[in-house]
Chains A and B, each alone.
Chain A
């Protein structure tokens, strides 16, 4: 039952990442692309968590935590660059 649910979640998250790639390519504004990248990082974290459940190992959670931190810092840096023209003033 758990493996079937894991397969469903992996398929759903993969389709979500494809939709994010569509918005990343087609987004008319730069903020759309930043939002698509941020959502893609969150979806990647979900994919890592589901893979950890599926394989029964807890070794991937360090990677998920690193993804969360790096994704947030990257989003903030992109937005600061759009707002101020500079990342670190």
Chain B
């Protein structure tokens, strides 16, 4: 029976190592930043989840101690990986004008919240209002 649990721990460790490697390989080999985001946000998160599952099994069975730390690390990593990926994508869009031109319209009022005042369409919308302001005063 312990050999079966050892086998499960070893399989989780190998799966975790393979997926962490696949995520970093995608980060190194893919041609574009938006495509490079896929590797670390999905494959590496899955690999870390498998490694932490192996750790939970190991400390639960071999040393008879519950693993609250691993559960905490798993929860924290799974909650924060999408947020950091979204922020990196926002920063990439903010820094590249050619991507900003190809974005779909965000809604009726204003542009994309990431771009703030820098959206050309929004600037064109605001300038007639500024022209109307002084003329109405005059």
Task: Select from chain B the residue with minimum beta-carbon distance to A84.
Answer: B116
Task: Select from chain B the residue with minimum beta-carbon distance to A73.
Answer: B80
Partner of B28, one of A19, A29, A75: A19
B72–chain A nearest beta-carbon distance, Å: 6
Q: Are B37 and A5 in contact (CB under 8 A)?
A: no
Instruction: Determine if B6 is an interface residue (Cβ-Cβ < 8 Å).
Output: yes
For B67, what are the chain A residues with a Cβ–Cβ distance below 8 Å?
58
Apart from A20-B27, A31-B88, 9 more pairs, CB < 8 Å: A15-B21, A16-B25, A23-B28, A35-B33, A42-B45, A42-B48, A43-B20, A53-B13, A75-B84
Q: Are B36 and A52 in contact (CB under 8 A)?
A: no
Q: Are B10 and A1 in contact (CB under 8 A)?
A: yes
Partner of A46, one of B10, B25, B27, B47: B47
Instruction: Determine if B136 is an interface residue (Cβ-Cβ < 8 Å).
Output: no
Q: Are A35 and B69 in contact (CB under 8 A)?
A: no
Instruction: Determine if B125 is an interface residue (Cβ-Cβ < 8 Å).
Output: no
Q: Are B24 and A39 in contact (CB under 8 A)?
A: yes
A33-50 residues with Cβ-Cβ distance < 8 A to B are: 34-36, 38-39, 42-43, 45-46, 49-50
Q: Are A39 and B40 in contact (CB under 8 A)?
A: yes
Task: Select from chain B the residue with minimum beta-carbon distance to A22.
Answer: B28
Instruction: Determine if B122 is an interface residue (Cβ-Cβ < 8 Å).
Output: no
**In the bound complex, CA of A46 to CA of B63 (Å):** 20
For A72, what are the chain B residues with a Cβ–Cβ distance below 8 Å?
76, 80, 83-84
Instruction: Determine if A30 is an interface residue (Cβ-Cβ < 8 Å).
Output: yes
| Contact pattern, B 86-119, Cβ under 8 Å of A = 1, otherwise 0 | 0110111011000000000000000000100000
Q: Are A79 and B88 in contact (CB under 8 A)?
A: yes
- Offer 19 A-B interface pairs, CB within 8 angstroms, sorted by A: A2-B10, A10-B17, A19-B24, A19-B27, A20-B27, A29-B33, A31-B92, A39-B23, A39-B40, A46-B16, A49-B52, A56-B62, A58-B63, A58-B65, A61-B73, A79-B90, A82-B91, A82-B95, A83-B87
